[in-house]
Structure 1
Amino acid sequence: MTERLAVAGGQDLPAGHHSLAWGVQASEAPGTLHVLAVTGGITVGPREGREILFGRNRPDVHVCVGEHDRRISRHQGALTHHGDKWWISTLGRLPLRLPGARLLFNQDEPIPLAAGYTPLFIRGSSGREHLLEVHVRAKDGEELLTQHGASTRPPNTWALSPAEKLALVVLGQRYLLHELYPNPLSWRQAAEHLNEIRPGEKWTHKKVEHLIVGVRDRLSRGGVAGLTREEVGEPIGNTLNHNLIRELMENTTLVPPDLGLLHD
Structure 2
Amino acid sequence: MPGTLYALALAGGLALGPGEGRAVLFGRNRPDVHICVGEDDARVSRHQGTFTHRGGRWWVCNEGRLPIRCAGSRLLFRGEEPLPLATGYTPLFAGGSRGREHLLEVFVTGPDDERPVPRHGDVTRPPRVWQLSEQEKPVLVVLGRRYLLHEPRPQPLTWKQTAALLAELRPGAGWTDKRVEHTVNAVRQRLSRDGVAGLTREEVGEPVGNALNDRLIRALMASTSLVPMDLTLIDAA
> What TM bracket, shorter-length normalisation?
0.5 to 0.7
Q: CA deviation at 1:44?
A: 0.9
Are the equivalent residues in 2 in contact too, given 1:226–1:232 (CA < 8 A)?
A: no
* The one of 65, 78, 91 aligned to 1:119: 91
1:236 aligns with 2:174: no
Are the equivalent residues in 2 in contact too, given 1:72–1:124 (CA < 8 A)?
A: yes
* The one of 28, 34, 54 aligned to 2:6: 34
Q: Secondary structure at the match of 2:140?
A: coil
Are the equivalent residues in 1 in contact too, given 2:3–2:109 (CA < 8 A)?
A: yes
* The one of 76, 80, 100 aligned to 1:128: 100
Are the equivalent residues in 2 in contact too, given 1:48–1:81 (CA < 8 A)?
A: yes
Q: Matches of 1:88 and 1:40 in 2, distance apart? A: 18
Q: Matches of 2:44 and 2:102 in 1, distance apart? A: 9
1:101 aligns with 2:73: yes
1:47 aligns with 2:19: yes
Q: TM-score, normalised by structure 1?
A: 0.50
Are the equivalent residues in 1 in contact too, given 2:26–2:37 (CA < 8 A)?
A: yes
Q: Percent identity?
A: 50
1:56 aligns with 2:28: yes
- Aligned position for 2:222: 245
Q: Report 1:1-264 matches (<5 A).
A: 29-140=1-112, 156-157=123-124, 225-226=129-130, 230=134, 233-237=137-141, 238=144, 242-243=219-220, 245-246=222-223
Structure 1 pair 240–231 and aligned structure 2 pair: CA distance change class (3 A) = farther
Matched length: 148
- Aligned position for 2:212: none
Are the equivalent residues in 1 in contact too, given 2:128–2:223 (CA < 8 A)?
A: no
Are the equivalent residues in 2 in contact too, given 1:31–1:46 (CA < 8 A)?
A: yes
- Aligned position for 2:228: none
Q: Matches of 1:39 and 1:65 in 2, distance apart? A: 7
The one-letter amino acid of 2:139's match is P
Q: What RMSD, in angstroms, separates the aligned Cα atoms of the two structures?
A: 3.0
The one-letter amino acid of 1:113's match is L
Q: Matches of 1:225 and 1:85 in 2, distance apart? A: 35
State which drifts further: 228-237 or 83-92: 228-237
Structure 1 pair 156–241 and aligned structure 2 pair: CA distance change class (3 A) = farther
The one-letter amino acid of 2:130's match is G
Query: Taking CA–CA contacts closer than 8 Å with sequence separation of 6 or more, which of the two structures ends up with the larger relative contact order?
Result: 1
Gaps spanning 5+ residues in structure 2: where? 145-215, 226-237
Q: CA deviation at 1:109?
A: 1.0
The one-letter amino acid of 2:137's match is G
Structure 1 pair 241–76 and aligned structure 2 pair: CA distance change class (3 A) = closer
Q: Matches of 1:39 and 1:153 in 2, distance apart? A: 19
Q: CA deviation at 1:233?
A: 3.5
- Aligned position for 2:192: none
Are the equivalent residues in 2 in contact too, given 1:227–1:240 (CA < 8 A)?
A: no
Structure 1 pair 152–67 and aligned structure 2 pair: CA distance change class (3 A) = closer
- Aligned position for 2:180: none
- Aligned position for 1:206: none
Q: CA deviation at 1:246?
A: 3.4
- The 4+ residue runs of structure 1 with deviation greater than 3 A are 151-156, 227-234, 237-244
Gaps spanning 5+ residues in structure 1: where? 1-28, 142-150, 159-218, 249-264
Q: Secondary structure at the match of 1:133?
A: strand
